[in-house]
Amino acid sequence: MSAINARAIQTSAEIISNKKIGAYHHMVFAVDSIGATARPGNFVAISVGGPSSSMILRRAFAIYRASDKGSAGGHIELVVAPHGQGSKWLTSLPLHEKVDMVGPLGTSFGIPTQPARTILVGGGYGSAPLFGLAEILKTRGCRVDMVLGASSAGKIYAPLDGKRSVTSMTITTDDGSAGLHGRVSDALPKLIEENDSEIIYSCGPMAMLEAIQSIADRYGLVHQASVEESMACGIGVCMTCVVPLRGDDGIVRMSRTCIDGPVMDGSSVVWNSKGIIPEGTWGL
């Protein structure tokens, strides 16, 4: 055995809840061991389309919340945006249907050992893994300011029960249909200054994460970013989901977001490198 994918299992997971919330579906899966071992930031990979499907690759979903208890035993919750064929198929499944699930996969958000002042920033359904994280941070005595942004009000995922675990909640929309008119990066500097924030946690599109990193640099903050690059396998064998990441030795390597991520140190990611291999990358 090796340390890679060390907690992952492949299992059959029963759908025990599937509710449409705004533009998304909140889905709950009964899956004992993943519920017990998942940490905030981890993801699962689910087969889609059924046995005769022409969709051969799994779909990766950040875990919204995980628990090892409940009326149906251990379970995990996902927030699914029915955008593509695979996620549409998944959200259309009836209750008690079972899906083939692999998880928990990937790195998780680092939790401070001492109470800290944190800001959690999510774009669209990228807010999903942040609520589970917020609950843990809150129990550790952290201040949790959350900023959620999307193109319009219907694409903000901010359930009522999730809001309980945050100290403050700021919403931004590109069209001004809810909250502040603008982007999350427009709202961040003021929040950081007002709350004397120490750590930023983020999840969302790469361009948003890059903008957050430049703010983190300006204020000298730690930034843990959950990155997204399209994956084929989710378990580290295919090498498709890579981003350039600077190692502790200072060398930039094309690194797999499925096992070296999705949560990466934002200051180590070489941002804005879609379509290129940055100069000096190992093995270029």
Partner 1 sequence: MFDYSTNLGKAQLPNPILTASGCAGSGKELSQFFPLTELGAIVTKSIMLKPRSGRATPRMAETPSGMLNSIGLQGPGIDLFLENDIPWLQSQGARIIVSIAGETVEDYASLARRVRNLPNVIGVEVNISCPNVENRGMVFSCQPDTARAAIENVRRNIGGEIPIFAKLSPDVTDIVSIAREVVNAGADGLALINTVLGMVIDVNTMRPKLAQKTGGLSGPAIRPIAVRAIYQVRAALQKVPIIGMGGVASGKDALELILAGANAVSVGTATFGNPGAAMQIKSELETALIERGFENFVDAVGYAHRMETQ
CA triple 199-259-140, angle to 5 deg: 30
Q: Smallest distance from the beta carbon of 28 to partner 1, in angstroms?
A: 24
C-alpha span between 155 and 173 (Å, rounded):
9
Q: What share of the chain is helix, strand, coil (3-state, %, to 5)?
A: 25, 35, 45
Q: Smallest distance from the beta carbon of 86 to partner 1, in angstroms?
A: 9
Choose between 21 and 284: whose C-beta lies nearer to partner 1.
284
Q: Smallest distance from the beta carbon of 245 to partner 1, in angstroms?
A: 12
Choose between 47 and 170: whose C-beta lies nearer to partner 1.
47
Return the CA Rg of the chain. Answer: 18
Choose between 95 and 239: whose C-beta lies nearer to partner 1.
239
Q: Smallest distance from the beta carbon of 45 to partner 1, in angstroms?
A: 9
Q: Smallest distance from the beta carbon of 12 to partner 1, in angstroms?
A: 12
Residues that bind partner 1 (CB under 8 A): 1-2, 4-6, 8, 10, 47, 54-58, 100, 102, 229-233, 235-243, 253-254, 259, 273-277, 281-284
Residue 37 has phi, psi (to 5 degrees) of -105, -15
C-alpha span between 4 and 18 (Å, rounded):
31
Non-local (6+) Cβ contacts of 91 within 8 A are 18, 20, 25, 27, 80, 82
Q: Smallest distance from the beta carbon of 254 to partner 1, in angstroms?
A: 5
Choose between 11 and 168: whose C-beta lies nearer to partner 1.
11
CB atoms within 10 A of CB 271: 20
> How is residue 96 written in tokens?
């008690």
Choose between 13 and 142: whose C-beta lies nearer to partner 1.
13
Choose between 156 and 258: whose C-beta lies nearer to partner 1.
258
